[in-house]
């Protein structure tokens, strides 16, 4: 009697399956509860990983509910790599698909924010440009493109995700009000910081990410939002060290 890893794996993730034959105690009695040690190790370690990965979701739903969700999630989406730092990529969509949670429509975006914070934390180091580098001819500046830090992340949401984040991490934060919010995450050194982007800021950054010049991206952002204030968004990027390169070669020719 041999137990292959496929059989072991299936029985491990599904407690309704019988313990595979061919596994014994010292007196060759069936392993029974001894097999449950492995089942338990897998379930408990992945449940803890879900709690650690999504502390705000855990706080919003309560640890008991989170245990239940993590148990369903780990069976539907076992980790696809040994890098537990990135565990839970499918969790936002998993939450979105849970009918029982449909009255909490903001949960998936809060989970996306927590994933983005973790990606930022582990992203490659980089050095932001000196703001003085922007003190050039306005025409040259408007024709320039930029490159962003690997640790920079952006999230656009129809929900007040930044307010929800503050309300659950800061002592005296105001209660979230219904509104759409865009978030910029910068990592000046080691700790990612979520900033609320002003109107049009996310349109401008998205256009820059797509390779548009600063000037063209400005027009794109104004078209999307007439109140767009380039200075305020630029200041957030510069303070967070999020712009790593200013490419001005287009006019150098």
Partner 1 sequence: MLDNSLRSNRLPSAAGVGYKPQHFAQILEDAAPVGWLEIHAENYMGDGGRPLAQLRHLSEQFPISVHGVGLSIGGEMPLDADHLARLKHLVGWLNPASFSEHLAWSTHDSHFLNDLLPLPYTDATLARICDHIDQVQEVLGRSMLLENPSSYLAFAESTWSEPNFLRELARRTGCGLLLDVNNVFVSATNLDFSPQEYIDAYPLEKVGEIHLGGHDEDEDDHGHPLLIDSHGREVVDPVWALLDYVLERSGPKPVLVEWDTDVPDWPVLQAEAARAHAALERIPA
Q: Which residues contact partner 1 (rule: CB under 8 A)? A: 1-6, 8-9, 12-13, 22-29, 31-35, 37-38, 41-42, 45-46, 49, 78-85, 121-125, 150-151, 187, 190-191
Q: How far apart are alpha carbons 36 and 11 in whole angstroms?
A: 10
Residue 253's CB: how many other CB atoms inside 10 A?
A: 4
Min separation Cβ 231 and partner 1, Å: 29
Min separation Cβ 172 and partner 1, Å: 27
Q: Measured from the CB atom, is 86 or 167 closer to partner 1?
A: 86
For 19, left (φ over 0), alpha (ψ -120 to 50), or beta? beta
Min separation Cβ 53 and partner 1, Å: 13
Which residues are within 8 A (CB) of 3 and not within 5 positions of it... i.e. 6 or more apart? Answer: 20, 21, 22, 23
Min separation Cβ 71 and partner 1, Å: 14
At 208, is the secondary structure helix, strand, or coil? helix
Q: Measured from the CB atom, is 122 or 250 closer to partner 1?
A: 122
Question: Pick from 28, 246, 47: which is nearest to 132 by CA?
Answer: 246
Q: Measured from the CB atom, is 78 or 211 closer to partner 1?
A: 78
Q: Measured from the CB atom, is 1 or 175 closer to partner 1?
A: 1
Q: Tell me phi and psi for residue 201, to 5 degrees.
A: -60, -45
């Amino acid at each position: 009697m041999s137990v292959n890893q496929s059989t072991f794996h299936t029985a491990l993730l599904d407690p309704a399956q019988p313990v595979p034959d061919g596994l014994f105690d010292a007196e060759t009695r069936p392993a029974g509860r001894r097999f449950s040690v492995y089942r338990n190790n897998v379930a408990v370690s992945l449940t803890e990983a879900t709690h650690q990965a999504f502390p705000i979701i855990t706080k919003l739903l309560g640890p008991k509910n989170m245990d239940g969700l993590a148990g369903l999630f780990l069976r539907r989406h076992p980790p696809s790599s040994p890098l537990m730092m990135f565990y839970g990529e499918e969790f936002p969509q998993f939450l979105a698909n849970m009918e029982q949670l449909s009255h909490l429509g903001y949960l998936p975006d809060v989970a996306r924010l927590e994933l983005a914070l973790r990606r930022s934390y582990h992203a490659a180091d980089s050095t932001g440009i000196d703001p003085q580098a922007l003190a050039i001819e306005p025409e040259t500046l408007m024709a320039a493109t930029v490159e962003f830090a690997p640790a920079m992340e952006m999230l656009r949401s129809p929900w007040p995700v930044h307010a929800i984040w503050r309300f659950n991490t800061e002592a005296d934060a105001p209660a979230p009000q219904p509104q759409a919010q865009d978030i910029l995450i910068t990592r000046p050194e080691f700790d990612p910081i979520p900033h609320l982007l002003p109107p049009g800021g996310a349109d401008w950054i998205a256009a820059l990410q797509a390779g548009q010049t600063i000037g063209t991206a400005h027009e794109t952002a104004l078209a999307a939002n007439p109140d767009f204030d380039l200075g305020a968004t630029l200041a957030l990027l510069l303070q967070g060290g999020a712009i790593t390169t200013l490419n001005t070669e287009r006019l150098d020719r």
